[in-house]
A and B are shown apart, each in its own frame.
Chain A
Amino acid sequence: MKLKTFPGGLHPPDNKEWSADKAIEDCPLPEELVIPMSQHIGAPAEPCVLVGQQVKKGEVIGQAKGFVSVPVHASTSGEVVAVEPRLHSSGRLLPAVVIRPDGEDAWVEGLAACDAMALTPDQIREKIRAAGIVGLGGATFPAHVKLSPPEGKIIDTLILNGVECEPYLTADHRLMLEETERLIDGVTILKRVLGVERAFIGIEANKPDAIEVVGRACAGRGIEVQGLKVKYPQGAEKQLILALTGREVPSGGLPMDVGVVVQNVGTAVAVSDAVRYGLPLIERIATVTGPGIAEAKNLRIRVGTSLSAMVDFCGGLQGDPAKIIMGGPMMGATQLSLDIPATRGTSGVLLFREGDLALVPEGPCIRCGRCVGVCPARILPTTIAAYARLDLINEAEEYNAMDCIECGCCTYTCPAAIPLVQVIRLAKGAILAKRRKV
């Protein structure tokens, strides 16, 4: 099989061997679950339970507000002990519902299995929305919105993202190996919602076992598994579409502009659960890894489990942590403490100690052009960053700062250790602020 890919990008050491062979383990129920109302892109959910109230597993505890929003559910049964702002992975205090589990883990009544293929696309979309399904690759965009293309947009291809190009993370890898049938069922349902014939599952070639297992299971079921070159950011939505279909999403456009919808493989599994059994999205697979953890593992976690509970289940810390990252090392976000709940978007927890960090002092740009060579958006990171640092926001905009996908390849490769993508992020913020003012 010829491996497909996109121009640009690079290949950092992937360090996946730490956890790639570890089967998914259930992370035990913690003593307290802190379930944020904001676990998705769009309007946060609104708490609809009161302190002291008993809730069942899967019961709605936060209601969606608007179309680009999803409901939030209790991830176990127990008592609501607080409804208050708690420290969130974004670094802010945001509304959350705190549940003390009763140990029964009893499902809410009324969840019924049904024949997914007998439902209309609209009924399926409603089930997906009601289950609170968001993009599980990390972007957490509400799935039902992506599955509702506006009139006039013709979708002919569904792409399942099983690339997992972030170093260290192996959650999607394990999911593809261990949840293969649910994955394929989810893809079949998604194909029905969109009314498409063509579906790809894109998997990076560093997961040959997943390519093989999923490929064999997909044979004759109208789903094509495609191996992809091991290169970061192969899993970025637009780069994945280009690799698999040869289509480039127009600058400023969306995948649906080229007739494509992309969903993460984990999202497809959640769709299968939601549509076939009515189960809401209350758990996910996450990798706990890095040199700062005693034993790297892939865990099935309840939404609201604290990072420290996950770390404890992996044998605890190894040395003093210097950086706690939610997500992968290329695009993950650093955390203020381990006392932060995992959410629907938590694909992993990565722990670095002081000695593991590359704390290189910044030097002057030597114009080596590496950032330009690796940039998958094909813009000039060094030029944009130079303008941005001089507060020349219009020039940064003219040099296409808004097309930056923030993959971080430029900063990773810069020999002068210039924080290119970080400066470009600031410039993007300034450009948006300027556009709002005009």
Chain B
Amino acid sequence: MEKQLYLSSSPHIHSGETTDKVMRGVIYALLPACAVSIYFFGWPALMVLLLCTGACMATEALCRKGMGRPLSLGDGSAALTGILLALNLPPSSPWWLALIGSVVAIGIGKQVYGGLGSNPFNPALVARVVLLISFPVQMTTWTAPAPLGSGIDALTTATPLGEMKTAVMLTGRLPLPAGGEYLEYFTGNMAGSLGEVSALALLLGAGYLFWRRILTWHIPAAYLGSVVLLSGVFWLVDPSRYPSPLFHLCTGGLMLGAFFMATDMVTSPVTGKGMVIFGLGCGIITVLVRLFGGYPEGVSFAILLMNAATPLIDRFSRPSKFGTVPQKG
């Protein structure tokens, strides 16, 4: 035995799951939503996706180099942030909007805190909100879907949530339903951000993440459950003024938020109990903003606010350690 032996303290085996595999898994899970957005919104969508991904990776590389730290593109987190940011932008976004968003997401949202694992807020959402406040016109100019090959020119229109908010503010009532729109909402044939539109594609991706055990049920279930419950109460009280829970589920960024944004591991609690509290908070804030706030959509604000509460939630949701639970038997 000429070779050296490894001496180490146990365990001596590892699951094989690594950070970059987790990040890659989430990227794969987002591919159906990317494909649907390209189908409905055409080349502009593809351009936004490529721009954001590329710019986020470039910003990450520049920041790491500037800070004299090892490059971190290999962990896949910068590319993932780029895709998530793109999915949170309107398909008609100009190139500079995507570029500024990417620099904000990675630079201010992530690397100033020290990089992966250290940022308190979801980087893509930080960028989305910065853009929304700084460039409200570009961030709320929506195009109607024009499926590839349909020959339809992109028309400016409103999102379902935007229509609802305008109608309620002007008339105090919901717009009259056209009928059959839920199926369109569900498959993604509506105006909105790239990744907001198809609940179906997002659910496909989420199913993959559950199967890979990258996602646990806690946050999505608590988030969607509390949205359904709370919006359901308002709907039952006055269905002419408040839309149904189904409308809330299928429109806006709720599906994207519940499965892919709120579940960002870095910025959500680590305990099961904490994740449930986090999801409940997201759901309540989302419904309140949608129904009573100045903005038609509240998912981004809800998640960012709950991100801020995460350290506190972690502190107060510690599991009761073994041997402190009253015994039976």
Q: Which residues of A contact B (CB under 8 A)?
A: 10, 12, 91, 167, 238, 242, 245-253, 258, 320-325, 327, 329-338, 350, 352, 354, 357-358, 360, 363-370, 372-373, 376-380, 382-383, 399-400, 403, 406, 408, 411-413, 415-417, 419, 421-422, 425
Contacts and interface: CB of A to CB of B under 8 A. Distances in A.
Q: Which of A91, A399, A406, A408 has the most CB of B within 10 A?
A: A408
Given A250-B323, A321-B5, A380-B318, A245 B329 contact: yes
Contacts of B13: 12, 167, 329-330, 358, 412
B129 interface: no
Nearest to A369: B270
14 contacts: A245-B329, A250-B324, A320-B3, A321-B3, A327-B10, A334-B9, A357-B6, A357-B12, A363-B117, A368-B22, A368-B270, A382-B270, A413-B15, A413-B17
A399 B271 CA distance: 14
Interface in B1-55: 1-3, 5-19, 21-22
B28 to A, nearest CB: 16
B9 A425 contact: yes
A334 B5 CA distance: 9
Contacts of A364: 115-118
Contacts of A91: 7
Nearest to A6: B322
A407 B321 CA distance: 15
B22 to A, nearest CB: 5
A325 B271 CA distance: 33
Contacts of B17: 370, 413, 415
B322 A372 contact: no
A403 B323 contact: yes
Nearest to A253: B323
A22 B108 CA distance: 61
A330 B10 contact: yes
Nearest to A353: B3
B5 A322 contact: yes
Given A330-B10, A369-B275, A412-B11, A248 B115 contact: no
B323 A416 contact: no
Nearest to A381: B270
Q: Per DSSP, are chain B's interface residues mostly helix, strand or loop, or mixed?
A: loop
A249 B323 contact: yes
B19 A246 contact: no
A238 B5 contact: no
A336 B320 contact: no
Interface in B281-329: 314, 318-325, 327-329
A377 B117 CA distance: 25
A335 B270 CA distance: 36
Contact of B271 (A327, A360, A369, A400): A369
A254 to B, nearest CB: 11
A417 B213 CA distance: 17
Interface in B54-92: 75, 77
B14 A412 contact: yes
B225 interface: no
Contacts of A379: 319, 321-322
A372 to B, nearest CB: 5
A251 B321 contact: yes
B232 interface: no
A258 B325 CA distance: 13
Nearest to B214: A368
Contacts of A415: 15, 17-19, 21-22
Nearest to B9: A422
A378 B216 CA distance: 18
Contact of B7 (A246, A336, A366): A336
A83 B268 CA distance: 60
A411 B11 contact: yes
A329 B11 contact: yes
A399 B12 CA distance: 25
Q: Which of B7, B267, B270, B272 has the most CB of A within 10 A?
A: B270
Contacts of B75: 363
Nearest to B271: A372
A358 to B, nearest CB: 4
B261 to A, nearest CB: 15
Contacts of B1: 320-321, 337-338
